Structure 1
Amino acid sequence: MFLLVGLGNPGAKYAKNRHNIGFMAVDEIARRYQFGTERNRLQGLAREGLIETEAGPQKTIIVKPQTFMNESGRCVGGFMTFHKIPIAKVIVFYDEVELAPGKCRVKIGGGTAGHNGLRSIVAQSGSDFKRVRLGVGHPGREKMLSHVLDDFSSAEMVWVDSLCDAIARTTPLLLEAKHDHFQTEVSKLSPAPPIPAWLRGGTGDGN
């Protein structure tokens, strides 16, 4: 069984924040693969379903922690313990300021780069989970908090929707651990837009 985790903050106030792109991505995965009804469980909103892969259908839980970003680890750890899901089958989708808007990269383990949601999960369960990093751009240190807690503009939502659709279409590759293929296909289906002039000039791949 896989656990797909979208990071974000609960409630309508935060729904379109850049910090909530993880929620947006897993919602689209759940929609595409016709997961079951969303239920409030173990401090998260969870849905269950099957995702077809080359190895056959994979039972999967999608969860959006409702603890607020800084305490995401409590929810994730609860699902891992209750369902006996190993950390190698946990995949976390989250906003990455060190990537240009619209870019998507995968990594396993490593540090948290100051992301409070990741820090909470690492503290609770360890660091060796798969991370799907969704670029939102870096506005400069002094504007960081307002940047991630601001809503995507209507123009930005065009690439956000495209990126989430591309991720959903290629999720089987993630479950099959074909990370490079996944990244390539996402980039083909949803090319990153030009970097806006107001973002930090050094924003790039962040590899």
Structure 2
Amino acid sequence: MYLIVGLGNIGEKYSDTRHNIGFAAVDLIHREYEFDEFKVRKKSLISSGTINTQKISLLKPLTYMNNSGIAVSEFVSFYKIPLQNILVIYDDMDIECGKAKFKFAGGSAGHNGIKSIDAHVGIDYWRLRIGISKPKFADISNYVLSKFTEEQISVISGVLQKISKNIDLALLGNKDKFLNSIK
């Protein structure tokens, strides 16, 4: 089994914000591959389905970003999912808006959701960082919790579509092919 985690914050006021791009990616994969309806399981929204015959679970933590590791840890522990079968999708201000980077393991680069997951399950899982660009003058907290501009929405929609259509390559760990497919 594979697990795809989308990071974000729960609640209508956070919907469509930069920090919720992980939720948006998981929602698109959910629709694209016609996964089961999301259900609340402990501290997460969970859905199951298949992509190219692989059993996949989608997870959106209900713990808010800074405690994402609690929700991920509960699911991983219960289903005994190997860390190398986990892909976490999240926002990154150090990457240009609409660009993406994909890697196995590593540090958090200051991202509180990733810090939490690292602390609860370890660091050896796949990470898909989607660029939201860094603000020039805005307060960081307000920036990540604000909505994309009209111009950015177009760019973000495009990269999310590419990610969804080619997610099977990421699950297979085919880094180069996956990255080329989402350019």
State the TM-score, normalizing by the size of structure 1.
0.86
Equivalent in 120, 126, 137 of residue 124 of structure 1: 120
Give the SS at the match of 1:62. Answer: strand
Structure 2: gaps of 5 or more residues: none
- CA shift, 1:142, in A, is 6.0
CA deviations over 1:116-157 (Å, ceiling 9, x no partner): 000000000001110001000011486221111111123321
* Counterpart position of 1:44: 44
- For 2:137 and 2:20, locate their aligned partners in 1 and report how far apart those are by CA, in whole Å: 19
* Counterpart position of 1:98: 94
Over the matched positions of the two proteins, sequence identity in percent amounts to 39
User: Structure 1 residues 119 and 5, CA, compared in 2 at 3 Å: closer, same or farther?
Assistant: same
Task: Give 2:165's aligned amino acid.
Answer: R
- CA shift, 1:176, in A, is 1.2
Residue 134 of structure 2 corresponds to residue 135 of structure 1:
no
* Counterpart position of 2:160: 164
- For 2:61 and 2:129, locate their aligned partners in 1 and report how far apart those are by CA, in whole Å: 17
- For 1:110 and 1:182, locate their aligned partners in 2 and report how far apart those are by CA, in whole Å: 19
Task: Give 1:15's aligned amino acid.
Answer: S
CA deviations over 1:32-67 (Å, ceiling 9, x no partner): 111001101121111000000xxxx11000010010
State the TM-score, normalizing by the size of structure 2.
0.97
Give the SS at the match of 1:47. Answer: strand
CA deviations over 1:2-26 (Å, ceiling 9, x no partner): 0100000001100111000000011
Residue 179 of structure 2 corresponds to residue 183 of structure 1:
yes
User: Structure 1 residues 141 and 7, CA, compared in 2 at 3 Å: closer, same or farther?
Assistant: farther
* Counterpart position of 1:193: none
Task: Give 1:75's aligned amino acid.
Answer: A
* Counterpart position of 2:147: 151
Equivalent in 43, 64, 78 of residue 74 of structure 2: 78
Equivalent in 57, 63, 68 of residue 64 of structure 2: 68
* Counterpart position of 1:3: 3
Runs (4+) of structure 1 moved beyond 2 Å? 140-143
* Counterpart position of 2:15: 15
- For 1:110 and 1:183, locate their aligned partners in 2 and report how far apart those are by CA, in whole Å: 18
Give the SS at the match of 1:182. Answer: helix
- CA shift, 1:167, in A, is 0.3
Give the SS at the match of 1:75. Answer: helix
Give the SS at the match of 2:3. Answer: strand
Count of aligned pairs between the two proteins: 183
Structure of larger gyration radius: 1
Task: Give 1:79's aligned amino acid.
Answer: F
Task: Give 2:80's aligned amino acid.
Answer: K
- For 1:107 and 1:140, locate their aligned partners in 2 and report how far apart those are by CA, in whole Å: 27
